[in-house]
Every structure is written in structure tokens, then in C-alpha cells.
Structure 1
Amino acid sequence: MIITIQMERGRNVDTKRRAAKAFTDAAIATLGAKAEWVTVLFEDYERTDWAIGGNLQLDRHGPGLVTLGNKD
């Protein structure tokens, strides 16, 4: 099983470790998977490569990562 997480670039390695663990645990709990069957892939995107509603995220929110509660 492969879980792909697509998100804005800027999360640190510890955040990705926690996310990988959480998604793996969720797959085990909900799908009956074994941990060794679960692969988590992170795809990081720059704001210049991501648009919503026809507008680049760079134009909507500026160049930096803006996430409430993000300590990265």
C-alpha cells in the first residue's frame, strides 16, 4: 500500500516522521494493513508550482509557509 501526501514545501523532518507514523497507524487501524505493507511518500510543492482557483499560492499568500500552529 502506498500513501502519497502532497503538501507545501517547508515541513521539517520531525513533522514528516510524525505524519508517517500517524498515517501508517491509521492504515493499520482502518484497513487492517501491517506496518511493513505501508509506504508513505511525501511530495513537496513550492508555492510557484501550486494554484487554487486559478491563482498561484504565491500570489494568494506570499512566499513563506503560513500554517496555524506550525512550529517548523
Structure 2
Amino acid sequence: MPYINIKVTDENVTSEQKRALIQGATALVVEVLNKEPKTTFVLIDEVNTDNWGIGYEQVSEIRQCIE
């Protein structure tokens, strides 16, 4: 029973995009590991950019510098 956990920042990920992630991740596990799709679980966690860091900085700070 595969369990896939996808973490993304909470920056306007649409329901359609989440559906595509679930379908794509499931298809990959079916293809590579020959697992049953109906027993493959996919969880998407949306993480606030203040809670996600790259190097020494929060993603929210990095994004402010880019804009």
C-alpha cells in the first residue's frame, strides 16, 4: 500500500493542479512499482512560505526580494 506525501508552498495551487499531482503520482507508482491505484494513497500538504526555508532564509523573504 504506497503512501505518497507531496509538499508544496501554499501559493494558489488550484484544485485542478492538485488533481493532476494525485493522478500523476499514482500513475508513476503503478508504472514503476506495479502497485494497485485503488490502494495508493496521496497526501498533499500545503506549507506556508514562512514555514519553508531554503539556505538560511524563509521562502516568504526570498519571494519579497524577487518581486
Taking the TM superposition and a 5 Å limit, the aligned residue runs for 1:1-72 are: 1-9=2-10, 10-62=12-64
Deviations along 1:11-38, whole A, 9 cap, x unmatched? 0111000110000000000001000110
Deviations along 1:2-58, whole A, 9 cap, x unmatched? 000011112011100011000000000000100011000001011111111010001
Aligned residues: 62
**3-state SS of paired residue (2:45):** strand
Structure having the larger proportion of residues in helix: 2
Unaligned segments of structure 1, at least 5 residues: 63-72
Unaligned segments of structure 2, at least 5 residues: none
AA aligned opposite 2:7: Q
AA aligned opposite 2:34: G
Q: Which runs of 4+ in 1 moved over 2 A?
A: none
Identity of aligned residues (%): 18
